[in-house]
Amino acid sequence: MTRAAMTPEKDAEYRAALNTALEAGSKVLREGGSSLDAVQAAITVLENDPHFNAGRGAVFTYNGTNELDAAIMDGKTRAAGAIAGVTHTKNPILLARAVMEKSPHVFLSGAGAEEFAREQGVEQVDPDWFATPERWRQLQELKAKKLGWFDVDLKYGTVGAVAVDGEGHVAAGTSTGGLTGKRWGRIGDSPLIGAGTYADDRACAVSATGAGEFFIREGVAHEICARMRFTGENAQKAADTVIAEVGALGGDGGVIVVTPKGEAVFSFSTPGMYRARANSKGLHEVAIFKDEALAKH
Amino acid sequence: MTRAAMTPEKDAEYRAALNTALEAGSKVLREGGSSLDAVQAAITVLENDPHFNAGRGAVFTYNGTNELDAAIMDGKTRAAGAIAGVTHTKNPILLARAVMEKSPHVFLSGAGAEEFAREQGVEQVDPDWFATPERWRQLQELKAKKLGWFDVDLKYGTVGAVAVDGEGHVAAGTSTGGLTGKRWGRIGDSPLIGAGTYADDRACAVSATGAGEFFIREGVAHEICARMRFTGENAQKAADTVIAEVGALGGDGGVIVVTPKGEAVFSFSTPGMYRARANSKGLHEVAIFKDEALAKH
């Protein structure tokens, strides 16, 4: 994700998509909705947009399928829902929400998760819905070049959102197709509560993207919350420290973080991270590259 | 798990099984082996013993199958491996170890995980290997009585081990069949790095058992390590605090914890927890009930 690799057209498309998702979440909050609903609204937009590696436009597994993971968490109650390896659920974030609210469990997987989805009336689609030519091309490129597992350009694109509402409750959600060419039923950090997704009103809400295996070993999202709770670090310092620790383990990536007081920060070690933020005082920013200040849209 | 519900014969069988597992792990350490190998040795014994809810003797899912989860983590490198929903792998802890050492991933699931197991030569068995009449009876009882999802007597029995070796490196492992009557591809805390299993030489190694959904939301194993690292609490205080927090969320269960300095502690909120500990100075203890001091065996 560098300026050199991005055409002006693509750049504009991504910024427009980010803006649409940001507005979907903002609208919920403007109308007095919860942070949980705002997170869900933003992620649903990103899942439906083929530019991102989640829902439609998800990367392909080694076997040529799209297998989707997602999680959502409510900082007020620390209730959480997550799913892994679903292949027919149009919006995995909606299924994660249903797991949180309609099942006694936190984490469902595979065919069983979709049996639950059908019982709950969560929209199912033909697997072709998720497939795009660009992602197919990326899988063929990966196989042809024998690229490494954590090659940045082909493999990230996980989507996430964090929000705080008028009552000071935070929420986090994450949705992804995982790594291009993933095999053996691999589950990354995105749907793992505490790794790629965590929300706790005592500290913050976090959603992560990157080389998931390193994020799991660090326990990134929970670690950022723990640092804030126990050391008194602010969100930026905690996020920067944890992303540096992931780097020390060997992994790249980034996080978005919001606190109950309304601080919204980013930290990432990649050349860029699609990102955006807004608040009720008129802030409305979208950015892609590392060397780019968040610009008014 | 109360004295009233336990016959003298069953009591003796469980204590003998715990003793055998404890000795298997101790032997590795006596001979200069690593904490990782000691954890694996102890858990393999418990998986092969039909008394426990892991490997042979695992509980049945709602659909009448045995679906196994496991994780292992090395505190020295924070390398980790985990698997969920396997149905043919004799010793899930050995597959978790293979994921850690032979794959680029941390967490594999379902049929894909067993494809990887076969590639790596991890022993596969007919699913009948895991099934026992007593667990089948428990599933029928659950269905007949419409028991709650987190009924203690029928549902726990997850096995775990933590160890510290002569070099001061800690390791943790956990293996389970999950909850009796689990549905929809439910994954509990056991295989989730940071929830049911975590190891970090900077703090401790933790393995958990209990109402997994609450352990996931708390991030139990990572939270105990974080408290030790950031607040300076000792292992007992950190473990007790976190088990109390799980209780406040609504969940029961327990943890075993070991530190690089050789402290080995337990904390649990259930009437009993099968447990044992040993060290190189001659300590060798086995216990079951809450009101029971750890007794020399």
> Which residue among A149, A216, A249 places its CB closest to the CB of B107?
A216
Cα A112 to Cα B41: distance, rounded to the nearest angstrom: 32
Q: Give pLDDT, residue A296.
A: 45
Closest listed residue to residue B214, CA positions, set B182, B261, B246, B183: B246
pLDDT at residue A251 greater than cutoff 70: yes
More reliable by pLDDT, B96 or A292: B96
Residue B274 resides in a domain = yes
Query: How many Cα atoms occupy the beta-carbon half-sphere of A203 within 13 Å?
Result: 27
pLDDT at residue A146 greater than cutoff 90: no
Cα B132 to Cα B122: distance, rounded to the nearest angstrom: 22
Contact in structure between A139 and A180 (CB atoms under 8 Å): yes
Please, what is the angle between helix A8-30 and helix A35-48, to 10°?
150
Q: How far is A276 from chain B (nearest CA, A)?
A: 27
- Residue in this structure with the two tokens 């595979």, named with its chain if needed: A110
pLDDT at residue A155 greater than cutoff 70: no
Q: Give pLDDT, residue B296.
A: 45
> Which residue among B106, B149, B227 places its CB closest to the CB of A216?
B106
CA distances from B263 to B202, B204, B208, B279, B283 (A): 14, 9, 17, 10, 12
ipTM of the prediction = 0.95
CA–centroid distance for B173 within its chain: 6
DSSP B131-183: --HHHHHHHHHHHHHT--TT-HHHH---EEEEEE-TTS-EEEEEEE--STT--
> Are B219 and A219 inside 8 Å of each other by CB?
yes
Each residue of A38-60: pLDDT tens digit? 999 999 999 999 999 999 999 99
Please, what is the angle between helix B35-48 and helix B92-102, to 10°?
150
Contacts 24+ apart (CB under 8 A), B5-8: B5/B153, B6/B288
- Whether residue A215 lies within 8 A of chain B, CB to CB, comes out as no
Q: What is the mean pLDDT of residues A279-289?
A: 92
Mutation for testing the A interface, residue in B217, B224, B242 having most A CBs under 10 Å: B217
Cα B196 to Cα B221: distance, rounded to the nearest angstrom: 6
pLDDT at residue A294 greater than cutoff 60: no
Q: What is the DSSP letter of B60?
A: P
Each residue of B2-22: pLDDT tens digit? 677 788 999 999 999 999 999
> What residues in A contact B195, CB-CB < 8 Å?
193-194
Active-site option among A61, A89, A158, A197: A158
Q: Give pLDDT, residue B293.
A: 65
Q: What is the mean pLDDT of residues A99-106?
A: 96
Residue B295 resides in a domain = no
The string over A5-44, giving b where at least 16 C-beta atoms fall within 10 Å of a residue's C-beta and e elsewhere, is ebeeeeeeebbebbbebbbbbbebbeeebbbbbbbbbbbb
Cα B28 to Cα B220: distance, rounded to the nearest angstrom: 28
Residue A105 resides in a domain = yes
> What residues in B contact A227, CB-CB < 8 Å?
226, 230
> Which residue among B78, B216, B226 places its CB closest to the CB of A226?
B226
Q: What is the mean pLDDT of residues A249-253?
A: 95
- Whether residue B113 lies within 8 A of chain A, CB to CB, comes out as yes
> Are A183 and B116 inside 8 Å of each other by CB?
yes
List active site positions of B: 158
Q: Give pLDDT, residue A4.
A: 73
Confidence grade of residue A151 (pLDDT, cut at 50, 70, 90): low
User: A23 lies in which domain range?
Assistant: 3-179+187-289
> Are B192 and A230 inside 8 Å of each other by CB?
no
Q: Name the strands in the sheet holding A272-278, side by side, starting at the edge strand that comes first in the sequence.
A: A272-278, A284-289, A295-296
Q: How far is A81 from chain B (nearest CA, A)?
A: 9
Number of domains in chain B: 1
End-to-end C-alpha distance for chain B, whole angstroms: 20
Residue A297 resides in a domain = no
Length of chain B: 297
CATH code of the domain containing A46: 3.60.20.30
Mutation for testing the A interface, residue in B74, B103, B186 having most A CBs under 10 Å: B186
Q: How far is B244 from chain A (nearest CA, A)?
A: 15
> Are A192 and B194 inside 8 Å of each other by CB?
yes
SS3 B42: helix
Residue A281 resides in a domain = yes
- Residue B83's DSSP bridge partners are B70, B108
pLDDT at residue A228 greater than cutoff 60: yes
Closest listed residue to residue A58, CA positions, set A167, A4, A139, A123: A139
Cα B42 to Cα B171: distance, rounded to the nearest angstrom: 12
Contact in structure between A54 and A159 (CB atoms under 8 Å): yes
Confidence grade of residue A290 (pLDDT, cut at 50, 70, 90): confident
> Which residue among B104, B108, B230 places its CB closest to the CB of A231?
B230
Q: Give pLDDT, residue A142.
A: 85
Residue B296 resides in a domain = no
> Are A105 and B213 inside 8 Å of each other by CB?
yes
Residue A294 resides in a domain = no
Q: In percent, how much of chain A has pLDDT > 70? A: 94
Q: Give pLDDT, residue B232.
A: 96
Mutation for testing the B interface, residue in A216, A233, A245 having most B CBs under 10 Å: A216
Contact in structure between B113 and A184 (CB atoms under 8 Å): yes
> Are A184 and B84 inside 8 Å of each other by CB?
no
Residue B294 resides in a domain = no
Cα B116 to Cα A245: distance, rounded to the nearest angstrom: 29
pLDDT at residue A2 greater than cutoff 80: no
CA–centroid distance for A282 within its chain: 24
DSSP A53-70: SSSTTPPPPTTS---EEE
For B168, other C-beta atoms within 10 Å of its C-beta total 14
Q: What is the mean pLDDT of residues A74-87?
A: 98
pLDDT at residue A215 greater than cutoff 90: yes
Confidence grade of residue A239 (pLDDT, cut at 50, 70, 90): very high
Residues with pLDDT less than 50, chain B: 152, 295-297
A157 CB contacts (<8 Å, ≥6 apart)? A52, A53, A54, A59, A176, A177, A209, A274
- Whether residue B112 lies within 8 A of chain A, CB to CB, comes out as yes
Contact in structure between B172 and B143 (CB atoms under 8 Å): no
Average predicted confidence (pLDDT) for chain A: 93
Cα A79 to Cα B52: distance, rounded to the nearest angstrom: 29
Which token pair is A133?
């030519």
Q: Give pLDDT, residue B168.
A: 97
Cα A153 to Cα A53: distance, rounded to the nearest angstrom: 12
> Which residue among B106, B185, B249 places its CB closest to the CB of A217?
B106
**Residue B227 CB-density burial (10 A; 0-12 exposed, 13-18 middle, 19+ buried):** buried
> What residues in A contact B188, CB-CB < 8 Å?
107
Give phi and psi for A264, each to the nearest 5. Answer: -130, 115
